Amino acid sequence: MTDSTQKVVIIDTGCANVSSVRFAIERLGYQVTVSRDPEIVLAADKLFLPGVGTASEAMKNLAERDLITLVSQVDKPLLGICLGMQLLGDYSEEQGQNGTERVPCLKLCPAPVQKMRTGELPLPHMGWNTITPEQGHPLFNGIPAGSYFYFVHSYAMPAFNTGQGRTIASCEYGQPFTAAVQSGNYYGVQFHPERSGKAGAQLIQNFLDM
């Protein structure tokens, strides 16, 4: 049953997909606040960190909005979406306009974000693809293996498992990569659940139920 009294907050990263994430959550019967106010963010029961664009631009946005320390202070479940998931990693190879430097990210999840090596397949990896979730993980309750989700990205975390974090769903495009990740109370999905139909809505519901 939906606990619509939860405080659900989308962290206001200034990214373009904030409103589509908000509508997807509201369709499930929740009220949503979009905020970067520390009091509101730290009082939330569930948080979403959306992101589109490049890692360098997004990290610059987070720095300008005083969000880098704030996100690392969150102790409730937080779900990074697409670039929002990548920002949880150690660093990204997606350096925007200025050459070859790695972009330091939030370092909340012990994995790099690297340009996908896809052989003959075109980048970005764009469209519907199937995922293989970790069996029994609550984020994937009621979502069968082989469910399709919508992806748009050229960079990804490799599949990994360390004491501090792990891949909880993988996907294949040229080679395997992390489709979903967990590191403590931080979760991330590389796909767009807000654009992934019934399976995406189920995943958002599962996160809110956790």
Question: H or E stretch including 171?
Answer: strand 165-173
Q: Is 194 an annotated catalytic residue? A: yes
Task: Give 115-120's long-range contacts (Cβ < 8 A, gap of 24+).
Answer: 115/154, 115/155, 116/153, 116/154, 116/155, 116/156, 116/173, 116/174, 116/175, 116/177, 117/174, 117/175, 118/173, 118/174, 118/175, 119/174
Q: Is 192 an annotated catalytic residue? A: yes
> Distance between CA atoms of 165 and 183, rounded to whole angstroms?
4
Q: Is 172 an annotated catalytic residue? A: no
Please confirm whether the linkage preceding 124 is cis (ω < 30° from 0).
yes
Q: Which of 82, 105, 109, 171 is catalytic?
A: 82
CB 146 within 8 A of CB 130: yes
Q: Which of 94, 109, 171, 194 is catalytic?
A: 194
Q: What 3-state class would DSSP assign to 140?
A: helix
Q: Catalytic residue numbers?
A: 82, 192, 194
